Structure 1
Amino acid sequence: MKRIFFSAMFVALAACAPKSQPAATAGGATDEVKSYDIAYIQVEAVLAESDLYKKEGAALQEKTQKAQNSWAQREKNLQAEAAKLQEKYQKGLITTNDAQAQQESIQRRAASYQNSAQKEARTLDEENFVFTNRAQDLLQRAVDEINADGKYKLIINASALIDADTTLNITPAVLAKVNELYAADQAEKANKK
């Protein structure tokens, strides 16, 4: 009876042990995929800690926040002005013609404000789009250089992970490479000027 129990336990342990999975190659043959053929990157951490973000991304984020605060304040001021005008008219402190003229003036300024806010928003959207593309380009170039030798058969974004061994984490290497590439890009820009 003990022999059957130990045999069953051995089979159960063997079934739970990590195994290599065969992977098809271009020629149709299979290669074994080993755990060190796989790596993951904490992309958000790389982007948040990169020199690109610290120097340019944070400034862009601050610029966007200031613009949004400015838009909100302008809108609030126009609404307050319209409310004051309505109050004056209801109290009989201004004539109907004056109230209409002032209301038209407020509406023109609101339309002008909306046009300028939309232009500013489009500009900020474009700047954010360019920044995001630059960050993605740096990240892809860093991964390409790190995996130039084809060491990794699979590199994934850690945001998709449920569980993984930390030895598969190549985030620090990718961050260092992103910063190196960013510094090289900045030096190249400076040399062109």
Structure 2
Amino acid sequence: MKKIFFPLLAAALVMTACESKTSEQTAGSTEAQTEANAQIGSGDIAYVQVEAVLAQCDLFLNEGKALQEKTEKAQKSWAQREQSLQAEAAQLQEKYQKGLITSRDAQAQQESIQKRVASYQTNAQKEAQTLDEENYVFTNRAQDLLQRAVQEINADKRYKLIINASALIDADTTLNITPAVLKKVNELYAADKKADKAKN
């Protein structure tokens, strides 16, 4: 039975968070953004604690937790169903070995269990595929928000290098732009939600 695990967004985003992606920048790189960058720290290198951004961003708090709980609930349900069917099959085998049931009845019950196992596996597989897709879409949305946030913060090309903090051994905290990235991710998420509501 295929198991589904909630994707570790940070792992998926380690390499993509700072990937340079050419796209037209909006003409709204404001003075406020420049001032925010100036307060963050000086130099042309910065780092982002990607895991912290993803764990604290509104996207995860509003949607990611629910999806994680849904996935965990499904996994638990599958495990319980498998255990129940295995226990039923073991009880049938034990009854048959003790001579408490005829071979004809044992065969009929075994076929019934096998049909239920096949039905359970089909349903679980469909549910697993749906959850896989939902997790994939969620991961891509988080990745897109993070990418766009970093690009907007660095619209003025102030930083020549922005890296994921998970790759750091040591760095000055003035190079940490995590709070600015988190704020921008939340702003972009709110704007996306507003745009989606306007379409509907």
TMscore range, shorter length: 0.7 to 0.9
In the alignment, what sits opposite 1:149?
A: 156
Q: How does 1:72-91 map to 2 (within 5 A)?
A: 72-91=79-98
State the secondary structure of the residue aligned to 2:43: helix
Instruction: State the shift of 1:89 in Å.
Output: 1.1
Aligned twin of 1:32? none
Decide which structure has greater helix share: 1
Identify which of 101, 107, 118 aligns with 1:111: 118
Deviations 1:92-136 (A, max 9, x none): 221101101100110111111111111111111111000000000
Among 131, 134, 145, the alignment partner of 1:127 is: 134
Q: Please, what TM-score do these two structures have when normalized by structure 1?
A: 0.81
Q: Which has the higher contact order (CA 8 A, sep 6+)?
A: 2
Aligned-partner residue type, residue 198 of structure 2: N
CA RMSD of aligned residues (A): 0.8
- Name whichever structure is richer in strand by fraction: 1
Moved over 3 A (4+): none
Q: CA–CA distance in 2 between the matches of 1:146 and 1:93? A: 74
Q: How many residues align?
A: 159
1:83, distance to aligned residue in structure 2 (A): 1.1
Unpaired runs of at least 5, structure 2: 1-41
The 1-side partners of 2:171 and 2:69 are apart by 35
Matches within 5 A, 1:37-186: 37-186=44-193
Distance 1:92 1:114 in 2: 31
Q: Distance in 1 between matches of 2:166 and 2:132?
A: 25
| Structure with greater Cα Rg | 1
The residue aligned with 2:18 is none
Identity %: 80
Deviation at 1:41, TM superposition (A): 0.2
* SS of residue paired to 2:155: coil
After superposition, what is the alpha-carbon deviation per residue over 1:121-152, rounded to whole angstroms, capped at 9, x for unaligned? Answer: 11111110000000000000000100001110
Tell me the TM-score normalized by structure 2: 0.78
- Structure 1 residue ranges without an equivalent (≥5): 1-34
